[in-house]
Amino acid sequence: MPELPEVESIARALRRALAGRRCTGLQVRFAGVLQPSPAAVRRTMVGSTLIAVERLGKYLILTFDGRQPGHVLLHLRMTGQIFLQEGYRPDRHVHLSLRFGDCTVHYRDIRKFGRWTAVGPDWRERELAHIGPDMLAVRFASWLPRVAQRRAPLKSVLLDQQVAAGLGNIYADETLFRAGVHPLTEPAACDAATLQRVLREAKAVLRLALRHGGTTFLNFTDFNGKPGRFRQRLQVYGRAGQPCRRCTTPIERLVVGGRSTCFCRACQPDLHESSGSVRQVQ
C-alpha cells in the first residue's frame, strides 16, 4: 500500500503538472472506483479548474473551482497508481483517464480497491473524521497524550491512523529500528524521551523516503511511471533472515496486530526478555 512518502510524491507532481489547469474530460473504464457515483465525480471535475492538491496521511484532496466548486478525495489503497506518460497505452487495469487540455493522466489499480470520492463542503468532518493529524505535521506536545498510556504494542500504535496519519507497515518497522525500540514495546512502558525519539525518527524516515521517491515492492510508481528508490535503503522491512546492516545479527520476523513485522533483536532489545519475564505474541 502506498504510504505517506509515495502519496506526497504524487501530490507534488500533480501540483507541478496540473494546478491551474482545467479538466476537459474524464474517460471511465471501471465505474466502481468513483463514489458516490460517476456522475457526481464528473460534475465536480469536468469543466472545472484544479486549484489545489493537498495531502492528509494517505489521502489526496483535489480541489476544483468551477460552477459547482468541490473536492475529490483520492485514496490509492493497495495498488492504486496515478501517472502521466507520453504515448502510454492504457491496459486493462487503467480505470480512469483524465484530460487536462493536451495532458492526460491515467489512474491504474490492479486490485480495484482505490476510490475517487466527490464530497460536499463539510467533507473534512464527514469523510476524514477518523483521521488524526498528519505524521509529518504533528508536534510531540500533542502526540504524546495520544500514545503515552497505550498498552498496545508500539508498532500497532504507530499504524493507528487516528493517532497520526500516514505511517504504514514499511515505515513503522523502519522507525522502530532507527529509534532502537522493540515493536512489542508498550508506550506506557516508555519514558517521554523514548517516545520523543520514536516520533523524531518517524518523521526522519518519512522525509528520507520522500527524497528517494518512496518505496516500491510490487506496483508503486511515481507520476512518471518510475519506481521508488528507497527500497535499497531499508534497514529491516522485508529483510527477515538477512544480516542487520548495523550489527550483522539476523533480522527476525513476527506478527503484530496481524501485520508482518521485521526487527533486529540486538539493536531493538525486548525489555520483557531482559527482565526475565515471559511474553506471548498474538
The residues that are catalytic are: 2-3, 58, 259
- Does residue 50 sit in helix, strand or coil? strand
| Measured distance between the N- and C-terminal CA atoms of the chain, rounded to whole angstroms | 23
Q: Which residues of 225-245 are buried (b: 16+ CB within 10 A; e: fewer)?
A: eebbebbeebbbbbbeeeebe
State residue 145 phi and psi, 5-degree precision: -65, -25
The grid coordinates of residue 117 equal 470520492
DSSP assignments along 102-160, one per residue? TEEEEEEESS---EEEEE-TTHHHHHSTT--SBTTT--HHHHHHHHTT--S-HHHHHH-
- Does residue 242 sit in helix, strand or coil? coil
Sign (positive or negative) of CA dihedral 209, 215, 220, 223: positive
Match 525489555 to its residue by C-alpha cell. 271
Q: Could you tell me which residues are beta bridge partners of residue 94?
A: 108
d(CA 236, CA 246): 10
Nearest residue to 7 (alpha-carbon basis) of 72, 68, 77, 111: 77
CA atoms within 13 A on the CB side of 125: 3
Cβ–Cβ under 8 Å, residues 44 and 34: no
